[in-house]
């Protein structure tokens, strides 16, 4: 997948809520400094900008910062901690929230991420007889040897897993009218199962919801593809006999148009970006954090500290990385731990616990009712199976 972090999540398998949520710090340039840099022009401006970056690098590296450089930072909120963010949210609220998530929000549902050693899906490459872990999502390899992908698809196919509290928290944001958009790298469709409407959803690397023939582009719906996958039959196009593939973005394919067209509008007035369960390693998905304006708070809920500048702070001249521990932090906060623990902590702090629990209970009842009389396909035969609704 060209953005195959898809399910990369560095997932959240911690034992629960940390005793004291961590505070992650960030240091963009001040608004006035950014404006001055933006208005510079010509070679002199570029030269001055380079000199300034080098100066800041040596100042930070060798502790040469002057007293004037230790001025009070213009913070978006008074206290850049999880508690401080929660207090600000209670007292002032947010109106335009964007969420971006990776595989970490789905691991508590039983779906493994892709990169965890011994646990992630990539670690199981040998059983699929693949030349390298990502070959299962390489479009050329898929056309030569599609069986491994469809074996994996059978394991991950939507309907086998239930949405997590993190998915329902995003749904709760929508119910409260504050969710601008939800960007996901996951193909499990758990956002849809949690009840998030399609117009609020950007599936950055696609999903099993639609399918097309690689040859003639004939469309096939999810029911058609499910019948093929669960009967262990390769999905062959009825029009041209070509291979039919779910509309999941493979390596060498483009991301959906919506991923490129929506961010400009979505981040225009975004006042809170929530980042959950992702390593922020794969582009272009990770670049969404750069879309947030300088006064937009960015909240990270993740097991690992991610999003740092790749080499040195001075190389992040535009202040786009999540620079934890920097003294000039203006807007970044983080909860390091399990995604579900993070959203429950938010719900508790905001007084939303009962609403979140009610939404989860209602969603589970609705999914149970749908599964009470589910249709299971075996080749050309259709059998009706009664599914025990009791959860493990």
CA dihedral 299, 300, 301, 303 (to 10 degrees): -160
DSSP lists the bridge partners of residue 385 as: 374
Residue 216 assigned as binding residue: yes
> Any idea which residue has 């709760």 for tokens?
172
Are residues 37 and 293 in contact, defined by beta-carbon separation less than 8 angstroms?
no
- Report the C-alpha gap between 279 and 42 in whole angstroms: 37
Helix (H) or strand (E) holding 274: strand 272-276
First to last CA, the chain: 32
What DSSP string runs through 28-84? PPPHHHHHHHHH--HHHHHHHHHHHHHHHHHHHHTT---GGGGPPP--SSS--SHHH
Are residues 73 and 248 in contact, defined by beta-carbon separation less than 8 angstroms?
no
Close Cβ partners of 361 (under 8 Å, ≥ 6 residues apart): none
Residue 202: Cβ within 10 Å count:
22
DSSP lists the bridge partners of residue 138 as: 251
What DSSP string runs through 200-268? GEEETTEEEEEEEETTT--EEEHHHHHHHHHTT---B-TTT-PBEEEEEPPBTSPPPHHHHHSHHHHTT
- Report the C-alpha gap between 21 and 335 in whole angstroms: 5
Exposure class string for 262-300: b at 16+ Cβ within 10 A, else e: bbeebbeebbbbbbbbbbbebeebbebbebbeeebbbbb
Half-sphere exposure of 369 (CA within 13 A, CB side): 6
Residue 296 assigned as binding residue: no
Residue 32: Cβ within 10 Å count:
9
Residue 240 assigned as binding residue: yes
Look up residue 206 and give its two tokens: 């696609």
Q: Give the residue numbers of the binding site.
A: 213, 216, 237, 240
Q: Give the residue numbers of the binding site for Zn(2+).
A: 213, 216, 237, 240
């Amino acid at each position: 997948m060209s953005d195959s972090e898809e399910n990369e999540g560095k997932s959240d398998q911690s034992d629960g809520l940390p005793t004291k949520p961590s505070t992650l710090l960030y240091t963009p340039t001040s608004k006035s400094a950014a404006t001055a840099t933006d208005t510079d022009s010509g070679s002199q401006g570029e030269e001055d900008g380079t000199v300034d970056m080098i100066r800041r690098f040596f100042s930070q590296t060798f502790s040469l910062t002057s007293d004037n450089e230790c001025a009070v930072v213009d913070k978006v909120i008074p206290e850049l901690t999880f508690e401080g963010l929660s207090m600000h949210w209670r007292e002032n609220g947010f109106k335009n929230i964007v969420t971006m998530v990776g595989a970490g929000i789905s691991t508590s549902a039983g779906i493994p991420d892709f990169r965890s050693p011994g646990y992630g899906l990539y670690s199981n490459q040998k059983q699929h007889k693949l030349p390298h872990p990502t070959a299962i999502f390489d479009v050329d390899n898929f056309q030569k040897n599609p069986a491994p992908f469809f074996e994996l698809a059978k394991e991950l196919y939507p309907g086998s897993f239930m949405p997590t509290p993190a998915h329902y928290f995003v749904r709760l944001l929508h119910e409260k009218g504050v969710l601008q958009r939800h960007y996901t790298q996951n193909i499990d469709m758990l956002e849809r199962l949690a009840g998030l409407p399609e117009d609020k959803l950007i599936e950055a690397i696609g999903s099993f919801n639609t399918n097309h023939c690689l040859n003639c582009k004939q469309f096939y719906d999810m029911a058609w593809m499910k019948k093929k996958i669960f009967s262990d039959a390769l999905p062959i196009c009825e029009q041209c006999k070509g291979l039919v593939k779910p509309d999941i973005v493979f390596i060498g394919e483009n991301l959906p148009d919506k991923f490129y067209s929506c961010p400009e509008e979505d981040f225009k007035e975004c006042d809170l970006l929530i980042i959950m369960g992702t390593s922020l390693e794969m582009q272009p998905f990770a670049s969404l954090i750069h879309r947030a304006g300088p006064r937009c708070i960015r909240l990270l809920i993740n097991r690992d500290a991610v999003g740092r500048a790749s080499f040195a702070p001075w190389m992040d001249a535009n202040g786009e990385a999540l620079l934890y521990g920097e003294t000039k932090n203006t807007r970044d906060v983080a909860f390091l731990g399990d995604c579900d623990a993070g959203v429950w902590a938010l719900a508790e702090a905001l007084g939303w616990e009962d609403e979140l629990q009610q939404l989860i209970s209602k969603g589970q009842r609705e999914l149970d009712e749908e599964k009470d009389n589910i249709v299971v396909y075996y080749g050309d035969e259709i059998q009706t199976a009664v599914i025990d609704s009791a959860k493990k």
